[in-house]
Amino acid sequence: MSEAPTKRARRPSGGRESLLETAVGEFIARGYDATSMEDLSRAAGITKSSFYHHFTGKEALLRAALERAVDGLFGVLDLPGARDGAPAERLRTIVREQVRVLTTELPYVTLLLRVRGNTETERWALERRRAFDAEITGLVREAVEAGEVQAGIDPALAARLLSGLVNSIVEWYRPGRPGTATLPEDVVAATFTGIVPAP
């Protein structure tokens, strides 16, 4: 009696990019530490050996995902509007484009915001986040010195508040909902103009 043919695992159509997207989803849902390569291969519908053909392991997947988020954020700092002009205008550009990166790369930025420094890759990501925040702190300091924001504002506190405001979007933003198309501009208006009109 012949054996039934073994069911072969389905290979994702997107290759490496599809595997990375699947891994990020699993890391967010399960937590990085709790996610095994078995979990990842099952979610992707391929064998572990096929997964290893594209990535050397779980840490390599994490690094690729976090690099994508970090590169997006630091790319904002290289934009002409973030480099040139008055400090307050540069801040507006950075906040607007940071929101745009977050909404475009939502799973990757979400993962970046959830790392805790338990691995070498996570510690690298946290260091890059601190470097980004330091750039914002320096720019807020320039804006204070130029008289473009209220005097007495602590630049480090302002930078943390700006980052906290933008980063909180990952908790409620969902693509396609009403108002999402203008979200970057709306966040800038609420941040720099205010929500409650001055008396």
4 is a domain residue = no
Low-confidence stretches of the chain (pLDDT < 70) are 1-14, 198
d(CA 19, CA 62): 12
Do 46 and 69 share a domain, yes or no? Answer: no
In a shared domain, residues 152 and 87: yes
**How confident is the model over 100-141, as pLDDT tens digits?**
999 999 999 999 999 999 999 999 999 999 999 999 999 999
- Domain membership of residue 1 (yes or no) is no
Would you state the structure tokens that stand for residue 49, as one six-digit string?
A: 């050996």
**Do residue 25 and residue 90 come from a single domain?**
no
Cβ–Cβ < 8 Å for 15, 54: yes
Same domain, 45 and 142: no
Are 51 and 67 found together in one domain?
A: no
Range(s) of the domain holding residue 133:
62-192
What's the pLDDT score for residue 195? 79
Q: Are residues 15 and 82 in the same domain?
A: no
Contact indicator for 187, 166 with CB cutoff of 8 Å: yes
CATH code at 117?
Answer: 1.10.357.10
Residues 39, 67 within the same domain: no
Residues 87 and 158: beta-carbon distance below 8 Å: no
Q: Residue 80: how many CB atoms within 10 A of its CB?
A: 9
Cβ contacts of 137 within 8 Å, gap of 6 or more: 155, 156, 158, 159
CA distance 118 to 103: 26
For residue 149, the model assigns a pLDDT of 84
Return the axis-axis angle of helices 37-44 and 16-30, rounded to nearest 10°.
120
Task: Mark whether 30 and 84 lie in a shared domain.
Answer: no
Q: What's the CA gap between 69 and 141, in Å, rounded?
A: 26
Check whether residue 13 and residue 101 sit in a common domain.
no
Q: Is residue 2 part of a domain?
A: no
Residues 103 and 33 in one domain: no
Which single residue is written with the structure tokens 């001055």? 198
Looking at the structure of the chain, the number of domains it has is 2
The token pair at 24 is 């990020």
Structural contact between residues 102 and 113, judged by C-beta atoms closer than 8 angstroms: no
CATH of the domain at 14: 1.10.10.60
Per-residue confidence (pLDDT) for residue 4, from 0 to 100? 41
Q: CA 18 to CA 34: how far, in whole Å?
A: 21
- Is 131 found in the same domain as 88? yes
